[in-house]
Structure 1
Amino acid sequence: MYIPGEALLPHKQYHLEQALKIRALFEKVTAGEGISAEWRQEESELPNISQNVIKSAHAADLVILGQANEDKDDANIREVAGDVLMECGRPVLLVPYSGTFAEIGYHILVGWNGSWESARAVFDALPFLKSVNQVHLHWAALVQPDSEEKIILGADLAATLADMM
């Protein structure tokens, strides 16, 4: 269905205003921390922005994403975190949409499926993993009964990480 661009202007304006507020907060917080941080803001022609985020994530040391509010956000927003987690191959910090947290980053969940993307993300995250209190490893692997491909299960990764930390 064709929707004239003028009909979308209020929607676009609202999101641009929200982005300005978030950017100001991002710059305020990162400026005083002595870290290298970059704000990226893009417009997408498609409602699902996952691929735009994934492309930007490829050049990042750490991707920080907000969790979608399952009750309020549309399906396109709800899909972004999962898409990015599974496809970007980079460490991702997922910030919950609700709650107050005095500290972040001291309990890490590592997702592992034996793919090169998860291997890359885990080993690129080693500096973070070495500085935390707890690392939880969650793994899932689809094993084809007739496949001879060896899948590196989570127990192997856990042993490797334990030796490195």
Structure 2
Amino acid sequence: MAIKTIMCVVGVKVGDGDLQTAISLCAENNAQLSVLVVSFASPPPIGDYTSTISDAWLEERTREVQKLAKRAGKVAEVVRTAGISASVHSEYAEFVWTADTIGRYGRYSDLTLIGPEALKSDVLRSKVIEGALFESGRPLLILPAGSAPTLTPKRVLLAWDSRLESARAAREALEMLIGADEVHVTIVDPDTSSMMNGPEPGADVGSYLAHHGVRVIVDRLPSGGNPVADVLNQHAVDINADLIVMGGYGHSRLRERVFGGVTKSMIDVPKFPILMAR
């Protein structure tokens, strides 16, 4: 899929690092930038004293809306001086609906970008990831601090487990995979049952990608009892990967939250740029 529009979500209290990264990516790839400036609305008062504090609550919300407008104006100025095609939107979102709001805007972009500034904010990070993966129908590009963002990676690790999510991620990243010098289809502790990878794990997806002109290498790795996320990250180091492509939340969000999982581990402490889809 060609990347023609990139969405970047910006908070009121974060810096412009993610915005500048998004601007650079759009400039390099002749893409449109869509910026969503988000402020989380203060929850309404509850309890016995709501009548006495409602005025203070309304005043607080008014101040927050004013701060949001001021931040959106500054973002618009940064984008204007960058000289790229862009649009800037702002939303004063109720907390429980923020992911839905982000997802709604994300549907009109080719991917949503989340960079180091948003990743440092636990609340903003969780809402952007939830909105992008569960509400937008578009992939998410996670860019940790110190990484070199690119939409034209030369070496890609495609994490494969034959599930719908990994297939979706491979399809979303297909244009990147075609342009890469090497794509390592990486399977950890491959399941050779007929319901999963079959007798030759990776052969099916390798053949599919090769038909599109992708230069494929299939790597079957034992975990040795180590977490799958650690194995993937180490293999990304070994092959000098520019990007990891993977499906997100093959299990339910509740199960990942309670028991942990590959997606949660990769998101909590990202070590490489990750293109994730669901």
Pick the TM interval, shorter chain.
0.5 to 0.7
* Other-structure match for 1:56: 105
CA deviation string 1:96-140 (max 9, x = no partner): 3x4474x5234356566623x654453233223323455566779
CA drift at 1:21 = 2.7
C-alpha distance 85-135 of structure 1, shift in aligned 2 (>3 A): farther
User: Who is 1:10 aligned against?
Assistant: 63
Q: Where do 5+ consecutive residues of structure 2 fail to align?
A: 1-43, 46-53, 215-278
Supply the distance in 1 between the matched residues of 2:181 and 2:74 (Cα, whole angstroms). Answer: 33
Tell me the secondary structure at the aligned position of residue 41 of structure 1. Answer: strand
1: CA distance, partners of 2:83 / 2:185 = 29
Deviation at 1:6, TM superposition (A): 1.2
Are 2:160 and 1:129 aligned?
no
Q: How far apart are residue 151 of structure 1 and its match?
A: 4.8
Distance 2:186 2:125 in 1: 21
Is residue 82 from structure 1 mapped to residue 129 from structure 2 by the alignment? yes
Conserved in 2, the CA contact under 8 Å of 1:112 and 1:118?
yes
Q: Name the residue aligned to 1:66.
A: 115
Q: Does residue 92 in structure 1 map to residue 140 in structure 2?
A: yes
- What SS does the aligned partner of 1:42 have? strand
Ranges in structure 1 where 5+ consecutive residues have no aligned partner:
144-148
Change (3 A) 1:10 1:65: same
Alpha-carbon separation, structure 2, partners of 1:150 and 1:45:
43
Letter in 1 for 2:150: I
The DSSP-based 3-state class of the residue aligned with 1:104 is: coil
Deviation at 1:150, TM superposition (A): 4.0
- Larger RCO (CA under 8 A, 6+ residues apart): 2
Query: Judging changes above 3 Å, is the alpha-carbon distance between structure 1 residues 29 and 11 closer, same or farther for their aligned structure 2 residues?
Result: same
C-alpha deviation, 1:77, in angstroms: 0.8
Q: Could you tell me how far apart the structure 2 residues matched to 1:27 and 1:139 are?
A: 44
Structure with the bigger percentage of strand: 2
- Greater CA radius of gyration, 1 or 2? 2
- When normalised by structure 1's length, the TM-score is 0.60
Distance 1:137 1:5, change over 3 A: farther
Q: Distance in 2 between matches of 1:100 and 1:122?
A: 21
Contact 1:58 1:89 in 2 (8 A): yes
The DSSP-based 3-state class of the residue aligned with 1:43 is strand
Q: What letter matches 1:63 in structure 2?
A: T
Percent identity of the aligned residues? 23
> What is the CA-CA distance between 1:7 and the residue it aligns to?
1.5
- How many residues are paired up? 149
